[in-house]
Structure 1
């Protein structure tokens, strides 16, 4: 009997359990079916607004700058070489590396003993030459006097011959006497020829003495010049470099002793490409005298000098391209020849152009402009120059437009943006800070707040704000964004 009772109770409990499972399954099935058959709840999608940095497109006149690298040179560089060899007997105190010297200052002296001896010999030879000239002139005078005496004898003998002939014609003298007179006249004429030859020899002696005197004078000048060359002087004021001699040292002829550099007449040499060179020409094809700024970075401190383009190279070296240009510097304190500097050249001004960040222009020459409704539009520009991280462009009808400063794959034509000017200020006019709500709109907002899961304190604060006549626009926008309407 007990077994039957327990069996019935178990069957009853099993039946109740199965009934509960069936009820639960039906309930779940009905809920799923109701959810699937119900109309889907649609939440309106909000358009995404992207904040972008913008810059104003302001057409103006801009002077582009061309940046290249160059090397400083001195327009006056002189190699100091020894004209004569010998022992250095004295050296100036400032004849050292980096020493500053004045024009015509004596830098060093070579032992002048040999040069002085040569000069003394040349002076002695000059005295001999002068004496020889004087002797030749005296001999010429004597020869001329003897020639005059011989000519007088010819005159006298000729007159005596004429008298003898006259007397012979009258039969007064004999033929022997006439013949003696003729012989005497002939001997006188022969003496004249001899004296003329002596005069010619005396004149030749004078010419020879004059020629020898000229040679002696040349030797004397050379000896004086050699003596002067024992002193090496500065041809101009400047700075010494590469000094390689000391007092007591021995030097040879044409040996390089130092290099004299004029630091006040510096120029910079730099190479530009052919296209850059073309931009520096005027209408006639001549190189413009454009302003130039030279900068030398020395441990973070920039040394600056200004100048002007002066000339260009006559040809292009083998294996090189472009053009080698030279610029003359006005005043360049602390600069030295050989410095590697940055050269900034001012190009001709460009009119009606704008300066934009290089990231604002795409590879196809387009920019994104904030158009009507804060939506982006594509605009075409002409890229004229690159200036570091900026570019100089020219556009049509873009004056006053706002251009996106940084392009990205997320940006394109038609996208709504929130432009931000440099400094973080919004480019759009600010809207009203408070709103006057309509009754229906206010009721919807209050119903949303009351049915939300906000903390009671936040609900009370927001509901109190919604009860006011004017509500903060920021609060309304935040609530409506959560409502999806």
Structure 2
């Protein structure tokens, strides 16, 4: 009986202990669930901050960029006109030297040219003497012809008298025949005198031609003598100089090339699509302004000009068109034929378009616009031009706000917080579907000591140099952003605590 009582009491105590342990485990479980539930925050939708701008219609003048080479349309080869020694060479007669129009370049030995001139002058004097002799000969021939004509008249009169006397019986037939023979002989002599006069006249004409040829020879000899002194026909720069004192030159030998520095143009190539932008309705080339830029390392020289003409033919294997543009250069320009330059051409203006960053659009021309409840929407635009890092687009939803950077994690339906990054987007366009958010910033005036402390703190920081330069420019302004000041001061304090 006592054993049974003790067994029941042990079972009861065991049951009480198991119940107590179960209750403790239950309380611990409930407490842990409550603590986890209290720590868990309510779930909210994630939003992304994006750089945005407004789509405002504007008129844009696109710029086409091409690459070309400088050429000279006025260059002259200076050649020797005769053979001889170079007895004079100008000090400027060297590559790259600038000369003025009419300035002496080289002088060829004039001895041969002077001898040729004297010979031509002697020939002219001889021709003039022969012409004078022919003039005197024609006078004598004409006098003899006149005398023969008078004798003919007298002989004809004598023949007539003999015929009259023969009719009256006072003369014989023999006397008549003698007069006839004398008249025939005189007529023959007169024919010879006439032929001599004609020959004398023709000789005068021939001598006049001989004199003209002699005069031409004299002029040629004078010109040859003058050409022994070679001068610059126009102001320019010398190139390929090949002449030294004492050197013998041959006729038509090239001594140098004279280039006019003001007669420069640029030849460049464009694609067929780009070429079509510079044609009017009739297919004629438009004279648009251009700018040629010569890159000299740290310096770039810009030369204005005008689109002039297109190349006459398309070279084999060449695509597009080759164009020429005249340049407005001064004589002291730094451009030289052969320079490679960047050519920028102004295209006709485009109306009702928008210029956006290239990063804002996808390859197929889609951009993200901010819709109702700050959610992104896809919009397709038509890309008209690509200008470096910018695009000129049309068929856009004017008045809406678009995302300037189409990042990979952004897509239609996401909720964003737009931040305007340009001044033009702070004012919404008329009739916009969604008003643009306003950007307000508090500005404070810094005391000199506080400004110097902030600048010193910024110089000690480890931020990138370009960002540091931008912040320094902002700190030097009369009014500085309060957020910037707080960020710099709080950053410095935290840095001091970490140190």
**TM-score (normalised: structure 2):** 0.77
User: For residue 405 of structure 1, what is the aligned residue in structure 2?
Assistant: 404
Aligned length, in residue pairs: 413
- Pairing partner for 1:270 from 264, 268, 282: 268
User: For residue 105 of structure 2, what is the aligned residue in structure 1?
Assistant: 107
Q: Retained in 2: the 8 A contact 1:108–1:231? A: yes
How do 1:327-342 residues align onto structure 2 when only pairs under 5 Å count?
A: 327-332=325-330, 333-342=333-342
Q: Retained in 1: the 8 A contact 2:358–2:389? A: yes
Deviation of residue 300 (structure 1)? 1.2
Q: Retained in 1: the 8 A contact 2:104–2:229? A: yes
Provide the C-alpha distance between the structure 1 equivalents of 2:377 and 2:61, rounded to a whole number of angstroms.
29
- The 3 A distance-change label for structure 1 pair 160 and 37 is closer
Deviation of residue 20 (structure 1)? 13
Q: Retained in 2: the 8 A contact 1:291–1:306? A: yes
How do 1:44-443 residues align onto structure 2 when only pairs under 5 Å count?
A: 44-332=42-330, 333-399=333-399, 401-422=400-421, 428=437
Q: Retained in 2: the 8 A contact 1:418–1:428? A: no
Deviation of residue 175 (structure 1)? 2.6
Provide the C-alpha distance between the structure 2 equivalents of 1:111 and 1:163, rounded to a whole number of angstroms.
80
Provide the C-alpha distance between the structure 2 equivalents of 1:430 and 1:127, rounded to a whole number of angstroms.
101
Q: Retained in 1: the 8 A contact 2:55–2:396? A: no
User: For residue 497 of structure 2, what is the aligned residue in structure 1?
Assistant: none
The superposition leaves residues 417-467 of structure 1 with CA deviations (integer Å, 9 ceiling, x where unpaired) of 111222799974589xxxxxxxxxxxxxxxxxxxxxxxxxxxxxxxxxxxx
Q: Retained in 2: the 8 A contact 1:98–1:239? A: yes
Q: Specify the structure having the higher radius of gyration (Cα).
A: 1
Cα RMSD, aligned residues only: 2.9
In structure 1, stretches of 5+ residues that fail to align are 1-17, 432-485
Deviation of residue 215 (structure 1)? 2.6
- The 3 A distance-change label for structure 1 pair 430 and 351 is closer
- The 3 A distance-change label for structure 1 pair 56 and 178 is same
Provide the C-alpha distance between the structure 1 equivalents of 2:87 and 2:362, rounded to a whole number of angstroms.
74
Q: Retained in 2: the 8 A contact 1:84–1:226? A: yes
- The 3 A distance-change label for structure 1 pair 338 and 158 is same
User: For residue 470 of structure 1, what is the aligned residue in structure 2?
Assistant: none
Provide the C-alpha distance between the structure 1 equivalents of 2:439 and 2:245, rounded to a whole number of angstroms.
85
Provide the C-alpha distance between the structure 2 equivalents of 1:60 and 1:429, rounded to a whole number of angstroms.
22
Deviates more, 1:93-102 or 1:111-120: 93-102
